[in-house]
Amino acid sequence: MRKRALVTGAGGFIGHHMVKYLKAEGHWVRGADLKPPEYEETAADEFELLDLRRWENCVGATRDVDEVYNLAADMGGIGYITAYHADIARNNILINAHMLEAAHVNGVERYFFSSSACVYPQYRQRSADVAPLAEDDAYPAEPEEGYGWEKLYAEKLCQYYGEEGKLETRVARFHNIYGPLGTYEGGREKAPAAISRKIALVQDGDEIEVWGDGQQTRSFTYVADCVEGIDRIMHSEYRHPINLGTDRLISVSDLVDLVARIANKTIRKRFDATKPQGVRGRNSDNGKLREVLAWEPQTPLEEGMRETYLWIESELARAGRIPELAAGAGQQA
Ligand code: NAD
């Protein structure tokens, strides 16, 4: 059935992909964000430039829609979220509290909230060889300062709105989403994009800087799997927070090697232990996801990282920053 959907954060990475997914499914889509998408035109039927920290803007954005996908947040990679606790916590709680109430006031049928693996306690993530995190592990709470605490509290707000019959809410905890059309420089980029950029910009045999000692581990989720997972979770009857991630653990050092193979370059790594590395290890337990959806993300890391690397490389080439590729990219453009 054709629905009317609002996607917030539609100028950002996952929001832009979500708009494209919903349009391809035949729905009518309104996008809202502080900024338009950076790398290509939005596919939304309507796109509104709005600051969703403001109540009246949330009321306007949620008018006449059946579903809300709330993907707007002040966020970035580990360097950014460890540096700006006050701004991130304030901006995001204003967005989330106002969006929930506005969706309720406007009679929205279903509301999706994008939470994060950053809600999981630090004390469960002190080893690189970490046990995968299951949903119940979030408590007793000791999440990431600022960003993680806000996400955990916003999850609670979704729960309260659901329990009191104000709004049907769905919540997913994303685990490191990556893919083309995401930020790859400027300070907000995450490890897969940062590593791809660094490798694309050096020659075969050169050295790149890697944050931490490289032994910190993560699991990574391709953006096409993320938006499909959002759709499946949104239309399931499961009302509690659920992981949306993969359970293939890889160290950051091995991720660098994987991207170097894609780029066909030999890369030397200079580890900088003074740079933030976040928790030591983090993996997703997908037991609940499999049980609820009979589905989990499918894209192999090699395949997803190839798409990501090639896109970042082509962007840099187009900007004339990879001299040996610049001419060819110019002809294609
Ligand atoms: P992103 O930064 O690319 O997109 C977020 C968008 O929100 C941006 O375009 C930004 O301009 C917009 N925004 C920020 N403040 C706003 C405001 N006041 N009003 C309107 N728009 C505003 O990030 P993303 O990776 O696409 O993340 C989407 C959602 O997924 C966020 O809630 C994020 O916390 C969550 N998440 C992402 C990851 C990941 O790995 N990418 C992991 C866990 C959770």
Q: How far, in Å, CA of 247 to CA of 133, rounded? A: 9
Residue with CA closest to ligand 1 atom 34 = 73
For the CA of 54, the closest atom of ligand 1 is 18
**258 Cα to the center of ligand 1, angstroms:** 27
CA dihedral 247, 252, 256, 259 (to 10 degrees): 20
Mutate-to-test residue for ligand 1 from 7, 8, 14, 282, highest number of ligand atoms within 8 A of CB: 14
Q: Within its chain, how far is the Cα of 219 from the centroid?
A: 13
- Structure tokens belonging to residue 7: 């996607």
> 13 near 37, Cβ under 8 Å?
no
**2 Cα to the center of ligand 1, angstroms:** 26
Distances (CA, A) of 239 to 59, 115, 227, 313: 24, 14, 18, 40
DSSP 8-state secondary structure symbol assigned to residue 181: T
pTM above 0.95, yes or no: yes
**114 Cα to the center of ligand 1, angstroms:** 9
**Mean pLDDT computed over every residue of the chain:** 96
Compute and round to an integer the Cα radius of gyration of the chain. Answer: 20
Q: Is the pLDDT of residue 211 over 80?
A: yes
At 1 the pLDDT is: 85
> 110 near 234, Cβ under 8 Å?
yes
Percent of the chain topping pLDDT 70: 98
At 333 the pLDDT is: 35
At 328 the pLDDT is: 53
Neighbours of 285 (CB within 10 A): 17
Cis peptide leading into residue 121 (ω within 30°)? no
Q: Where does ligand 1 bind, in terms of residues with CB under 6 Å?
A: 9, 11-15, 33-35, 50-53, 71-75, 91, 95, 114, 116, 174, 176-177, 190
Q: Is the pLDDT of residue 97 over 70?
A: yes
Which domains does the chain carry?
4-177+222-244 (3.40.50.720), 179-219+248-292+300-332 (3.90.25.10)
> 177 near 305, Cβ under 8 Å?
no
Q: How far, in Å, CA of 301 to CA of 248, rounded? A: 9
Indicate the pLDDT class of residue 302, thresholds 50, 70 and 90.
very high
Maximum alpha-carbon separation in the chain: 60
Q: How far, in Å, CA of 64 to CA of 256, rounded? A: 46
Tell me the residue length of the chain: 333
**294 Cα to the center of ligand 1, angstroms:** 27
Tokens 């991207």 belong to which residue? 259
Residue with CA closest to ligand 1 atom 4 = 12
> 189 near 178, Cβ under 8 Å?
no
**325 Cα to the center of ligand 1, angstroms:** 31
At 116 the pLDDT is: 98
Indicate the pLDDT class of residue 325, thresholds 50, 70 and 90.
confident
> 208 near 260, Cβ under 8 Å?
no
| Catalytic site positions | 147
Q: What does the pLDDT look like over 130-167, one tens digit per residue?
A: 999 999 999 999 999 999 999 999 999 999 999 999 99
Q: What does the pLDDT look like over 222-279, one tens digit per residue?
A: 999 999 999 999 999 999 999 999 999 999 999 999 999 999 999 999 999 999 999 9
> 304 near 178, Cβ under 8 Å?
yes
